[in-house]
Amino acid sequence: MRPPYIGAFRYGLILTAIFLGFAGVFARLLHLQVLDPEHYVQYAEESRGRYDRLVAPRGPIVDRAGNLLASTQTVIELGVDPQSLVREDFTKIPELAEILDLPESRIREAFEKRERRNPSTGEVRPVRWVKLSDAVYPEDYDLIRELEIRGVYGNYKNQRIYPAGSMAAHLIGFVANDGGGYYGVEQAMDFYLQGQAGWRESEKDGRRRELAQFRWREVAPRPGLGVELTIDLVLQTKVEGELDSIMEKYSPKSASIIVSDPKTGEILALANRPTFNPNFHGESPKSSWMNRALTTVYEPGSTFKIVASAGALNENLVTPDTLFDCSNSRVEYNGRTVRMPADHHQYDELSVKDIVVKSSNRGAALLGMTLGDERMYEYSRAFGFGEKTGLRLGAESRGILHPVKAWDGLTISRLPMGHAVSATPVQVHSAMSVIAAGGVRRPLNLVKSVYDSNGDTVIRFSPAPEERIISEEVALEMAGFLEGVVGPEGTARRAYVDGFRAAGKTGTTQMIIDGKYSNRHHVASFSGFLPADNPEVVITVVVEDPQLKGVGYGGVVAAPVFRSIAETASHHLQIVPEGVIGGPLMALTENTQ
């Protein structure tokens, strides 16, 4: 049999093709290895290189006794690479579904999602990652790895948890998806809590798995510092329970309670309703995130009367026994006639003390006129109205306190009784704290210290500079007046605490609905302290629009809540009852004998 004949042209063509092929390969190798090697070496290294950011665990948040309020735990974000799966892996879906507590259909859908089409360009690309779970605990991840499903793997990450749930939610806040603090202490102290991230440089194989033997560099993350708050979990729990009772009994629009130590300005408890669980903050409406103690503004009403009375006493314009005729509906002031506000009862002459105890609107107006426009405004500012408290817990309202040049003809008669001014619950609380602190305004504070992982204090926050507003003598006189408010002839008899000299002031104001004062919607409040002669705790209760038959008076709605919290605080803080040696526990023992 003769061999096949190949013509000279065909033979030459084949040789030329082979030569050109090798020439092309040689040219490509020349370009890669000689002409431009740096670019391709860098490209290869970047393709092999793996850079992992090691997120630092966020520091804990604790109360003043070290009870954990916020912590960080390690979890795994689990997903699947559908391109790496083999047929055998699909048989393990039921076991994986049981571990993850997910429907088998959900996992099967993720396993079969091998391509993704770009809706704008129509380009089809292979899918290399489908998330199965945001957070898998390490012990569950170990069980998943034992299944040996080739395409299922996870990435470690830190997750913020709040062991007490919604407890103190408006103080603590929560962490946003990017890992930074959002709202509350989480935001205000983010610089200390966030820590310093580390990193790891290594190589990866074709399946993007790390080749640990080729790890070049690793810098460990530095955990965040811990933050110790001033709040007391026992009192915080009591406050939260009282708010739940208020919501159940009166169904108000909102409610806030604040408890603090007047001697230091430290907040012992603060809570609001509505509230939310920071572990699942996305499941609650954003309106529930609001710290209403700092954002809700209302006309404080009678609780504001401490300003005019304390100011007039401090300026030596009156004494506690100075009498004022409260029977007139109109009075002359600075050459003009001013229409006076109405009182709930008809009064004739009242002393300064009785004006406070009986909560006379006309009496308060007369005290304001005695001070005059400028001094009335300056004392209002000095007591903290019209400016932020500086607590740094997210958005905070200044309230509304108009300068004298913006006053109308009625302001001088309405401002002293707590109208023509808007304030937040924390501003009212701060003003009452001035009386409780002996005439000194101490800024409220929430953070005691910052500490490291060994428990050693790194930073201790000192109280902000205090400012004297009224003399100590005037503060003691005012405390005596406010003690009378809680007495048999006062407006807050339900705030009386057995065995203690309590003091405070009620507030009942009409809400403004559609630009008009409403006869059906009120804000009920009470702000007070005990013991009256040596205050150790200040408590403010504000309830917005309580639903009940008749008017939601502060003495009816808020005063009993003050009493309940004050009783718990007196036992927990070991405040000695009047005339008892040995403290509350001994007093209880003696009473049972």
DSSP per residue, 406-437: G--TTHHHHGGGT-S-BB-HHHHHHHHHHHHT
> 402: pLDDT confidence band, cut at 50, 70 and 90?
very high
> Do residues 502 and 483 touch, judged by C-beta distance below 8 A?
yes
Of the listed ranges 196-205, 390-399, 541-550, 581-590, the one predicted with least confidence: 581-590
pLDDT in tens, 488-503: 878 888 999 988 999 9
For 341, counting Cβ atoms within 10 Å of its Cβ (0-12 exposed, 13-18 middle, 19+ buried), the class is: middle
Q: Cα–chain-centroid distance for residue 239?
A: 15
pLDDT of residue 584: 40
Same domain, 252 and 153: no
pLDDT of residue 206: 52
> 14: pLDDT confidence band, cut at 50, 70 and 90?
confident
pLDDT of residue 433: 97
Give the residue with greater pLDDT, 149 vs 380.
Answer: 380
State how far the alpha carbon of 37 is from the alpha carbons of 23, 29, 50, 124, 203, in Å: 19, 10, 21, 33, 20
> 517: pLDDT confidence band, cut at 50, 70 and 90?
confident
pLDDT in tens, 291-334: 999 999 999 999 999 999 999 999 999 999 999 999 999 999 99
Domain of residue 251, CATH code: 3.40.710.10
Residue 45 has pLDDT above 60, yes or no: no
- pTM for this structure? 0.82
**Residue 568 resides in a domain:** yes
Q: Which long-range contacts (CB under 8 A, 24 or more apart) does 334-341 make?
A: 336/409, 338/365, 338/369, 338/409, 338/410, 338/412, 338/413, 339/410, 339/413, 340/365, 340/413, 341/365, 341/413, 341/414, 341/417, 341/419
Distance of alpha carbon 417 from alpha carbon 413, whole angstroms = 8
**Residue 33 resides in a domain:** no
Same domain, 258 and 362: yes
The domain of 113 spans: 73-160
Distance of alpha carbon 346 from alpha carbon 237, whole angstroms = 42
Work out the average pLDDT over 510-529. 88
Give the residue with greater pLDDT, 48 vs 119.
Answer: 119
Look at residues 136, 160, 184 and tell me which one is the last residue of a structural domain: 160
Residues 6+ apart with CB under 8 A from 286: none
Distance of alpha carbon 81 from alpha carbon 97, whole angstroms = 16
Q: From the CB of residue 184, how many other CB atoms can be counted at a distance below 10 Å?
A: 24
Query: How does the average pLDDT of the chain come out, rounded?
Result: 86
pLDDT of residue 438: 95
> 126: pLDDT confidence band, cut at 50, 70 and 90?
confident
Residue 209 has pLDDT above 70, yes or no: no
Query: Can you read off the two tokens belonging to residue 136?
Result: 């898998």
Radius of gyration of the chain from Cα atoms? Answer: 35
Give the residue with greater pLDDT, 267 vs 511.
Answer: 267
**Residue 547 resides in a domain:** yes
Same domain, 129 and 239: no
Distance of alpha carbon 97 from alpha carbon 101, whole angstroms = 6
Same domain, 420 and 535: yes
The residue whose two tokens read 């005063």 is 559
> 447: pLDDT confidence band, cut at 50, 70 and 90?
very high
**Residue 340 resides in a domain:** yes
Same domain, 246 and 154: no
The residue whose two tokens read 């939610």 is 169
> 133: pLDDT confidence band, cut at 50, 70 and 90?
confident
Helix axis angle, 138-146 to 93-100, nearest 10° = 170
The amino acid present at 461, given as its one-letter code, is: F
Look at residues 134, 160, 186 and tell me which one is the last residue of a structural domain: 160
Work out the average pLDDT over 207-224. 64
Q: How far apart are the first and last CA of the chain?
A: 131
State how far the alpha carbon of 276 is from the alpha carbons of 290, 396, 410, in Å: 10, 19, 41
The residue whose two tokens read 């020349």 is 30
Same domain, 503 and 587: yes
How long a stretch of residues is the chain? Answer: 593
- Per-residue HEC secondary structure of 511-572 comes to EEECCEEEEEEEEEEEEEEECCCCCCEEEEEEEECCCCCCCCCHHHHCHHHHHHHHHHHHHH
Residue 205 has pLDDT above 60, yes or no: no
Give the residue with greater pLDDT, 518 vs 288.
Answer: 288
> 551: pLDDT confidence band, cut at 50, 70 and 90?
confident
Would you call 42 helix, strand, or coil by DSSP? helix
State how far the alpha carbon of 446 is from the alpha carbons of 62, 174, 264, 311, 431, in Å: 12, 16, 11, 29, 17
> 31: pLDDT confidence band, cut at 50, 70 and 90?
low
Nearest to 528 by CA among 565, 490, 482, 494: 482
Work out the average pLDDT over 172-199. 82
**Residue 1 resides in a domain:** no
> 515: pLDDT confidence band, cut at 50, 70 and 90?
confident
Work out the average pLDDT over 168-182. 80
Q: Cα–chain-centroid distance for residue 279?
A: 13
CA atoms within 13 Å, Cβ hemisphere of 320: 13
**Residue 98 resides in a domain:** yes
Same domain, 253 and 146: no
**Residue 274 resides in a domain:** yes
Same domain, 238 and 115: no
Same domain, 393 and 527: yes
**Residue 329 resides in a domain:** yes
Give the residue with greater pLDDT, 50 vs 511.
Answer: 511
39-55 per-residue burial string, b: 16 or more CB within 10 A, e: under 16? eeeeeeeeeeebebeeb
Same domain, 270 and 155: no
Name the domain count of the chain: 2
Residue 580 has pLDDT above 50, yes or no: no
pLDDT of residue 87: 85
Distance of alpha carbon 442 from alpha carbon 191, whole angstroms = 25
Domain of residue 90, CATH code: 3.90.1310.10
The residue whose two tokens read 């996305």 is 282
For 315, counting Cβ atoms within 10 Å of its Cβ (0-12 exposed, 13-18 middle, 19+ buried), the class is: middle
Work out the average pLDDT over 98-123. 84
> 592: pLDDT confidence band, cut at 50, 70 and 90?
very low
Percent of the residues in the chain that have a pLDDT greater than 70, as a whole number: 88
Give the residue with greater pLDDT, 21 vs 100.
Answer: 100
Distance of alpha carbon 586 from alpha carbon 498, whole angstroms = 15
CA atoms within 13 Å, Cβ hemisphere of 18: 6
Residue 586 has pLDDT above 50, yes or no: no
> 83: pLDDT confidence band, cut at 50, 70 and 90?
confident
Most confident of 135-149, 219-233, 306-320: 306-320
Percent of the residues in the chain that have a pLDDT greater than 90, as a whole number: 54
Look at residues 99, 130, 160 and tell me which one is the last residue of a structural domain: 160
Work out the average pLDDT over 444-472. 91
DSSP per residue, 433-475: HHHHTTSEE---B-EEEEE-TTS-EEEEPPPPPPEE-S-HHHH
The amino acid present at 399, given as its one-letter code, is: G
> 419: pLDDT confidence band, cut at 50, 70 and 90?
very high
- What DSSP character marks residue 198? E
> 159: pLDDT confidence band, cut at 50, 70 and 90?
confident
Same domain, 152 and 242: no
Same domain, 270 and 139: no
Work out the average pLDDT over 26-44. 65
